[in-house]
Chain A
Protein backbone atom coordinates (compact mmCIF):
# COMPACT_ATOMS: atom_id res chain seq x y z
CA UNK A 1 0.00 0.00 0.00
CA UNK A 2 0.85 3.66 -0.08
CA UNK A 3 3.29 5.01 2.48
CA UNK A 4 4.99 8.28 3.38
CA UNK A 5 8.33 8.53 5.16
CA UNK A 6 9.61 11.74 6.62
CA UNK A 7 12.65 12.55 8.69
CA UNK A 8 12.37 12.13 12.40
CA UNK A 9 12.50 15.10 14.68
CA UNK A 10 12.73 17.16 16.53
CA UNK A 11 14.53 19.52 14.22
CA UNK A 12 16.03 22.31 16.27
CA UNK A 13 17.08 25.51 14.54
CA UNK A 14 17.95 29.07 15.38
CA UNK A 15 15.85 31.86 13.97
CA UNK A 16 16.74 32.74 10.35
CA UNK A 17 18.33 29.35 9.69
CA UNK A 18 17.57 27.32 6.56
CA UNK A 19 15.07 24.50 6.93
CA UNK A 20 14.78 21.21 5.09
CA UNK A 21 12.41 18.43 6.11
CA UNK A 22 12.74 15.37 3.91
CA UNK A 23 9.74 13.43 2.68
CA UNK A 24 9.56 10.43 0.34
CA UNK A 25 6.54 8.46 -0.73
CA UNK A 26 5.52 5.18 -2.30
CA UNK A 27 2.26 5.03 -4.18
CA UNK A 28 0.53 3.41 -7.08
CA UNK A 29 -0.31 5.86 -9.81
CA UNK A 30 0.38 9.56 -9.46
CA UNK A 31 -0.74 10.90 -6.11
CA UNK A 32 -1.14 14.49 -5.09
CA UNK A 33 1.29 15.55 -2.37
CA UNK A 34 0.67 17.82 0.59
CA UNK A 35 2.38 19.41 3.55
CA UNK A 36 0.21 20.10 6.58
CA UNK A 37 1.23 21.96 9.74
CA UNK A 38 -0.13 21.33 13.23
CA UNK A 39 0.26 23.85 16.03
CA UNK A 40 -0.12 22.61 19.62
CA UNK A 41 -3.69 21.69 20.49
CA UNK A 42 -4.98 22.43 17.02
CA UNK A 43 -5.96 20.55 13.90
CA UNK A 44 -3.98 20.30 10.70
CA UNK A 45 -3.74 23.25 8.36
CA UNK A 46 -2.85 22.81 4.74
CA UNK A 47 0.51 24.48 4.11
CA UNK A 48 1.04 23.69 0.43
CA UNK A 49 0.32 21.10 -2.21
CA UNK A 50 1.43 19.82 -5.61
CA UNK A 51 -0.68 17.71 -7.91
CA UNK A 52 1.76 16.53 -10.58
CA UNK A 53 5.44 15.95 -11.25
CA UNK A 54 7.68 19.04 -11.20
CA UNK A 55 4.95 21.17 -9.63
CA UNK A 56 6.22 23.46 -6.90
CA UNK A 57 3.92 24.28 -4.01
CA UNK A 58 4.66 27.39 -1.99
CA UNK A 59 3.11 29.33 0.87
CA UNK A 60 4.35 31.62 3.66
CA UNK A 61 7.96 31.23 2.53
CA UNK A 62 7.78 27.42 2.48
CA UNK A 63 8.35 25.50 -0.74
CA UNK A 64 8.28 21.90 -1.89
CA UNK A 65 8.77 20.41 -5.36
CA UNK A 66 7.12 17.19 -6.53
CA UNK A 67 10.00 15.01 -7.72
CA UNK A 68 8.73 11.93 -9.45
CA UNK A 69 12.19 10.53 -10.25
CA UNK A 70 13.17 10.48 -6.58
CA UNK A 71 9.60 10.10 -5.23
CA UNK A 72 10.26 13.01 -2.92
CA UNK A 73 8.53 16.17 -1.73
CA UNK A 74 11.02 17.86 0.59
CA UNK A 75 9.88 20.94 2.50
CA UNK A 76 12.21 23.96 2.56
CA UNK A 77 12.25 27.46 3.96
CA UNK A 78 15.06 29.92 3.59
CA UNK A 79 14.75 31.67 6.95
CA UNK A 80 12.67 30.19 9.76
CA UNK A 81 10.96 32.17 12.50
CA UNK A 82 10.06 31.25 16.06
CA UNK A 83 6.43 31.22 14.99
CA UNK A 84 7.18 28.35 12.59
CA UNK A 85 7.64 26.00 15.54
CA UNK A 86 5.07 23.25 14.98
CA UNK A 87 4.72 19.69 13.74
CA UNK A 88 4.87 19.26 9.97
CA UNK A 89 3.18 16.35 8.19
CA UNK A 90 3.84 15.18 4.66
CA UNK A 91 0.91 13.39 3.04
CA UNK A 92 -0.02 11.77 -0.24
CA UNK A 93 -3.51 11.61 -1.72
CA UNK A 94 -4.42 8.64 -3.89
CA UNK A 95 -5.04 9.25 -7.54
CA UNK A 96 -8.31 7.32 -7.27
CA UNK A 97 -9.87 9.19 -4.39
CA UNK A 98 -8.92 11.48 -1.65
CA UNK A 99 -8.04 9.57 1.50
CA UNK A 100 -4.67 10.77 2.70
CA UNK A 101 -1.65 8.77 3.79
CA UNK A 102 0.44 10.66 6.34
CA UNK A 103 4.02 10.50 7.48
CA UNK A 104 4.65 10.39 11.22
CA UNK A 105 5.29 14.11 11.44
CA UNK A 106 8.41 16.15 12.14
CA UNK A 107 8.52 18.54 15.05
CA UNK A 108 10.30 21.81 14.34
CA UNK A 109 11.59 23.92 17.21
CA UNK A 110 12.93 27.36 16.39
CA UNK A 111 14.75 29.33 19.08
CA UNK A 112 15.34 33.09 19.06
Chain B
Protein backbone atom coordinates (compact mmCIF):
# COMPACT_ATOMS: atom_id res chain seq x y z
CA UNK B 1 0.00 0.00 0.00
CA UNK B 2 1.66 3.17 -1.18
CA UNK B 3 -0.93 5.56 0.23
CA UNK B 4 -0.56 8.20 2.91
CA UNK B 5 -0.29 6.42 6.26
CA UNK B 6 -1.39 8.02 9.48
CA UNK B 7 -1.19 6.59 12.95
CA UNK B 8 -2.72 6.09 15.28
CA UNK B 9 -6.23 6.03 13.81
CA UNK B 10 -7.72 6.87 17.18
CA UNK B 11 -6.01 8.58 20.09
CA UNK B 12 -7.46 9.31 23.50
CA UNK B 13 -5.73 11.72 25.86
CA UNK B 14 -6.60 13.38 29.14
CA UNK B 15 -6.45 17.12 29.49
CA UNK B 16 -2.87 18.29 30.01
CA UNK B 17 -1.23 15.33 28.27
CA UNK B 18 0.68 15.41 25.00
CA UNK B 19 -0.59 14.04 21.69
CA UNK B 20 1.71 12.93 18.87
CA UNK B 21 0.26 12.24 15.45
CA UNK B 22 2.34 10.64 12.73
CA UNK B 23 2.13 10.82 8.97
CA UNK B 24 4.12 8.96 6.35
CA UNK B 25 3.59 10.49 2.91
CA UNK B 26 3.11 8.55 -0.26
CA UNK B 27 6.28 7.17 -1.77
CA UNK B 28 8.00 9.83 -3.79
CA UNK B 29 6.11 12.70 -2.14
CA UNK B 30 8.17 15.34 -0.39
CA UNK B 31 5.42 17.78 0.58
CA UNK B 32 3.22 17.22 3.62
CA UNK B 33 0.17 19.17 4.75
CA UNK B 34 -1.76 18.90 7.99
CA UNK B 35 -5.45 19.78 8.25
CA UNK B 36 -7.87 19.74 11.16
CA UNK B 37 -11.55 18.85 10.86
CA UNK B 38 -13.79 19.93 13.67
CA UNK B 39 -17.23 18.32 14.02
CA UNK B 40 -19.71 19.50 11.41
CA UNK B 41 -17.05 21.57 9.65
CA UNK B 42 -14.75 21.32 6.70
CA UNK B 43 -11.02 20.87 6.85
CA UNK B 44 -8.88 23.78 7.94
CA UNK B 45 -5.28 24.07 6.82
CA UNK B 46 -2.75 24.01 9.63
CA UNK B 47 0.79 23.63 8.31
CA UNK B 48 2.72 22.81 5.15
CA UNK B 49 6.14 21.18 5.36
CA UNK B 50 8.88 19.89 3.14
CA UNK B 51 11.72 17.75 4.40
CA UNK B 52 13.35 19.58 7.33
CA UNK B 53 11.50 22.81 6.52
CA UNK B 54 8.27 24.44 7.58
CA UNK B 55 7.00 26.32 4.55
CA UNK B 56 3.73 27.74 5.86
CA UNK B 57 2.38 27.45 9.38
CA UNK B 58 -0.20 30.21 9.11
CA UNK B 59 -2.99 27.86 10.19
CA UNK B 60 -1.28 26.55 13.31
CA UNK B 61 -2.34 27.82 16.73
CA UNK B 62 0.48 29.90 18.15
CA UNK B 63 0.78 27.90 21.36
CA UNK B 64 1.00 24.18 22.15
CA UNK B 65 1.07 23.03 18.51
CA UNK B 66 4.19 22.16 16.57
CA UNK B 67 5.05 20.13 13.48
CA UNK B 68 8.15 18.65 11.96
CA UNK B 69 9.13 16.59 8.94
CA UNK B 70 12.63 15.26 9.56
CA UNK B 71 15.04 14.04 6.96
CA UNK B 72 14.30 10.47 8.01
CA UNK B 73 10.98 9.23 9.29
CA UNK B 74 7.41 10.46 9.32
CA UNK B 75 6.03 13.93 9.81
CA UNK B 76 4.91 14.55 13.39
CA UNK B 77 2.16 16.88 14.59
CA UNK B 78 2.61 17.47 18.31
CA UNK B 79 0.04 18.97 20.63
CA UNK B 80 1.20 19.77 24.13
CA UNK B 81 -1.07 20.16 27.17
CA UNK B 82 -4.17 19.14 25.24
CA UNK B 83 -7.54 20.72 26.00
CA UNK B 84 -11.07 19.59 25.17
CA UNK B 85 -11.20 21.92 22.19
CA UNK B 86 -8.38 19.96 20.52
CA UNK B 87 -10.78 17.05 19.95
CA UNK B 88 -11.00 16.71 16.18
CA UNK B 89 -9.94 14.61 13.24
CA UNK B 90 -6.47 15.48 12.00
CA UNK B 91 -5.69 14.69 8.39
CA UNK B 92 -2.38 14.57 6.65
CA UNK B 93 -1.98 14.96 2.91
CA UNK B 94 1.00 14.71 0.62
CA UNK B 95 1.91 15.75 -2.88
CA UNK B 96 4.99 15.28 -5.05
CA UNK B 97 5.48 18.94 -5.88
CA UNK B 98 4.46 22.40 -4.91
CA UNK B 99 2.00 23.36 -7.62
CA UNK B 100 -1.62 24.30 -7.40
CA UNK B 101 -2.80 21.77 -9.95
CA UNK B 102 -1.22 18.77 -8.28
CA UNK B 103 -3.86 17.00 -6.16
CA UNK B 104 -3.11 16.17 -2.60
CA UNK B 105 -3.57 12.61 -1.41
CA UNK B 106 -5.05 12.20 2.03
CA UNK B 107 -4.58 9.69 4.79
CA UNK B 108 -7.47 8.24 6.78
CA UNK B 109 -6.86 10.65 9.63
CA UNK B 110 -6.27 10.46 13.36
CA UNK B 111 -9.32 11.01 15.52
CA UNK B 112 -8.20 12.69 18.72
CA UNK B 113 -10.49 12.59 21.73
CA UNK B 114 -9.72 14.54 24.88
CA UNK B 115 -11.27 13.32 28.11
Contact = CB atoms under 8 A, between A and B. Distances in A.
Contacts of A45: 106
Interface stretch (A14-22, A68-76, A77-85, A100-108): A100-108
A32 interface: yes
A95 B42 contact: no
Nearest to A103: B42
A25 interface: no
Contacts of A100: 33, 35, 43, 45, 93, 104
A42 B104 contact: no
B108 interface: yes
Q: Size class of B's contact patch?
A: 20 to 34
Interface stretch (B11-19, B63-71, B75-83, B95-103): B95-103
Interface string A26-45: 00000110101000011111
B89 to A, nearest CB: 9
B99 A98 contact: yes
A29 to B, nearest CB: 9
A43 B100 contact: no
Contact of A98 (B43, B44, B95): B95
A56 B98 CA distance: 23
Contact of B109 (A4, A31, A36, A43): A43
A36 B104 CA distance: 10
Contacts of A4: 42
A99 B106 contact: no
B41 interface: yes
B51 interface: no
Contact of B45 (A46, A99, A105): A99
Nearest to A31: B100
Contacts of B106: 36, 43-45
Contacts of B103: 34, 46, 49
Given A32-B101, A97-B48, A98-B33, 6 more contacts: A34-B103, A43-B108, A89-B43, A98-B95, A101-B45, A105-B42
